[in-house]
Amino acid sequence: LYTAPDSCEGRCEEPYSEEDECHCHRECERYHSCCQDYHRHCRPDGFSSSRDAISDEELLHVSEQLYKLDHNKARPADIVLNPQYQASPGETGDQEDHSPQPLYKYVNEELFSKPTYASFIKLLDNYQRVTGREEDVTAEELREQDNFLKEVMKTELMRKLFAFLHKKNRYGSEQEFLADLKEMWFGLYSRGSGEQDSSGFEHVFSGEVKKGKVSGFHNWIRFYLLEKQGVVNYYSHNFNGPWDTYPDVLGLQFSWDGFYKEVGSAFIGCSPEFEFGLYTLCFIARPGRACHLSLGGYSLSIQTYTWTKSTYGHGKKYIATAYVISP
């Protein structure tokens, strides 16, 4: 049950926002800005009633709760960064390596033995990074997907997220939530000409190469492991978030095997379940729009997009992308 940007399903009485394509609060009729299905959905009974809408205030509250529940995040001593050169907005497309040293001076790799990290890392080599090449998913890779989902669902953070979405009538049971996570994140679709070559998980966490450029690739663990192998070359950063503990946020410029990423925003030092949970929350609550959250008292926004060319289930949408908006 996704709140599509052009529909009132699950959005009745959602507060007005200029960013919305159309609106679902009582005032929309006066301003002639209602979504086409406003009258069909915004009645007192069933899903889509005002009590099921996820308000801006609720997003701020639940994101702070998830932030506090990231028990597996890096401690301050676990990561030493060397951000070096800060690029101006006009320099991010220059493709110049302004930072001779790697971004990561040190990472305590004991983190990677935690169950959610270990199961996450196993997923990263399951993908053909070039779009247009069919993904060949083996039985072992399907088991790795299930194992990752099983491990993240054991965490207090993901249980809190489920409890919130359950209360908002998005899911009737944890099994239903788990099955939907698997489809929305790991379900395959085509970014090329018909090949089953992509998924939300591959794009966001592992990264892809499309038309000679890096596409997606918003994960710090993936970046660190490839930088350590000498495959990723850090160029500069254009944004360094206000956090003095982890998770932090950076906007990065880098090349991956010679393919360039102009701005690759990423959480730094968070657990896999934190990033996975926050992106899921925003995809369900504000798909196709900026999702405004609060982490440790600081504002942060996440942008998600739905994949519009194919669906699963009864018209549900796959995740096309999700990333932190770096100013």
> Active-site residue numbers?
203, 218, 261
How far, in Å, CA of 249 to CA of 266, rounded? 6
29 contacts: CB under 8 Å, gap ≥ 6: 38
- Collapsed DSSP state (helix, strand, coil) of residue 18: coil
Two tokens at 70?
Answer: 């990231």
199 contacts: CB under 8 Å, gap ≥ 6: 135, 185, 186, 187, 188, 189, 318, 319
How far, in Å, CA of 238 to CA of 242, rounded? 13
How far, in Å, CA of 283 to CA of 210, rounded? 23
| Side chain identity at residue 112, one-letter code | F
Our measurement of the distance from residue 139's CA atom to the centroid of its chain's CA atoms, rounded to an integer in Å, reads 25
CB 284 within 8 A of CB 52: no
How far, in Å, CA of 280 to CA of 66, rounded? 12
